[in-house]
Amino acid sequence: MKVINHQSTTNNFQFPISTSQSSYHILDLDMLLDSDSQEFLELFDRDYGWFKTPSTNSKKRLSISARLNDLKDPFVRITKTNNFQFSIFNFQSLRGHPSPVSCALQRIIRTIFAEIEDFMVLHAGVVERNGRAVILAGPPGAGKTTLVLELLKDGYGFFSDDFCPIHKVTRRVYPFPRSVWVVDDGSNKGNESGRKGKTCLRPDQLPSGVSDQPCIPKCLVCLDPGRNADSFCELEIGVKREGAKGLGIDLQEIKNLQFSMVNGQSSGWRIRYPVGQGLTPKIRELLARHEQHIWNVYRADRIHPDFEKDPVLTPIATHEAAFCLLRDLKQEPGFSQNGDAHRYAPGELFMELNRLLQGVPCYRLSAGSLDRMAGAIARIEN
């Protein structure tokens, strides 16, 4: 699709700043992205270029301004338009952040998914054949992207390797062809990609074309990577300088928790704690209490499935599949903007997932060799 860039000049504090604008339509949301940083615009477009449009004209729109070239006072301002009524509902100064471009991207992507209302967005890959969607859900590292790419070689159409939007009324699955990131074993891996050790594949570079029509689900497969008895959860936290001391004192009060600096930077912390000891609710409460002093939080631990053994495909109940999905949604039910109420109470979200999956055959597929996992998917299809 042709790239549309509109040159404009805006004023910020009486100084003229040259900016560029791009328009996108992502599911039920129109977005106008404006920035003085060409790097920022190119990074966003690299992942979400499939959604670019010549213009936006709907009653619901996000207008996002990212001023990032002035390192003394970079900021992101997000304005929401609803029925032609404008309101600035989010403004964040990025002063002091070691990477304003990266932080701005993360902030905007989280806001986009928080503002999508007509869809439930699952953390899952999706392929399509004969007008039916095969949904492949699982945590990071479970093999979703690898399995999606393998199925594309077998003639499936591409929807996404990481996003599964289900319309809340029609229950149809919509394509979400963000660019795919694959492990690069070459000598120059990660040098220009922006993601260490990975290479970007745009949708038009994939083995199969993008299926651009929404369709009903054929099945949902929950990829089960297995868990070690001594598994740990690791979080990377971007901490603002003024809040570091208080956060550190509170973290030290939690037993069995370790924390350290990331790459020796005082703004980047890594915390590590054992799974299964009831620490997650305490840590969530602590992070919420210090929210104004935190740039962002990432889940940094990685699972290591055994892809050498034989995979096992097992039918499971809808509610069991919904429980698996609940722990790893793309739309965070606890995420709010400026104190807005949560979209769902925990029980309501679980019931909504059950409703959306009603009548869809659900399975658990344990990790195993790639060809046999693809073969298991083919057996469901037949």
Return the structure tokens found at 193. 């990609």
| Of 97-111, 226-240, 323-337, the least confident | 323-337
Tens of pLDDT, residues 285-317: 999 899 889 998 888 887 888 899 999 999 999
In single-letter form, the type of residue at position 217 comes to P
Residue 12 has pLDDT above 70, yes or no: no
For residues 163 and 175, is the Cβ–Cβ distance under 8 A?
no
Q: Where are the alpha helices (DSSP H) in the chain?
A: 38-48, 100-115, 144-153, 244-252, 280-289, 318-326, 346-356, 370-381
333 falls in which pLDDT band (50, 70, 90)?
low
Q: Which residues make Cβ contacts (< 8 Å) with residue 378, sequence separation at least 6?
A: 154
- Residue-level pLDDT at 148: 98
pTM value > 0.75: yes
Percent of the chain whose pLDDT exceeds 90? 59
Q: Report the range of poorest mean pLDDT among 65-74, 84-93, 200-209.
A: 84-93
When pLDDT is cut at 50, 70 and 90, the band that residue 230 belongs to is: low
Strand pairing report for 216-224 and 362-366: parallel
Segment 211-230 mean pLDDT: 88
Phi, psi of 373, rounded to the nearest 5 degrees: -65, -40
Map out the domains of the chain with their CATH numbers. Answer: 6-117 (no CATH), 120-226+347-381 (3.40.50), 232-299 (3.30.70.100)
Estimate the crossing angle of helix 318-326 against helix 346-356, to 10 degrees. 130
Please report the pLDDT score of residue 17 as a whole number: 64
pLDDT tens sequence across 99-123: 899 999 999 998 999 899 999 999 9
Residue 186 pLDDT more than 80? no
Q: How far, in Å, CA of 288 to CA of 290, rounded?
A: 5
Band of pLDDT at residue 48, cut at 50, 70 and 90: very high
pLDDT digits 0-9 by tens, 237-272: 999 988 889 999 999 999 999 988 886 666 789 999
| Residue 302: per-residue pLDDT | 78
Place of tokens 């790639």: 370
pLDDT of residue 7: 40
Higher pLDDT, 266 or 206: 206
16 vs 22: CA distance, rounded Å: 19
The lowest-confidence range among 80-84, 155-159, 242-246, 331-335 is 331-335
Q: In this predicted structure, what is the pLDDT of residue 332?
A: 67
Bridge pairing between strands 294-299 and 157-160: unpaired
Q: Given this model, what pLDDT does residue 228 score?
A: 62
pLDDT of residue 200: 94
266 vs 281, residue with greater confidence: 281
Residue 20 phi, psi (nearest 5): -125, 150
Name the β-bridge partners of 314. Answer: 364
Whole-number pLDDT of residue 345: 66
pLDDT in tens, 130-177: 999 999 999 888 999 999 999 999 999 999 999 999 999 999 999 999
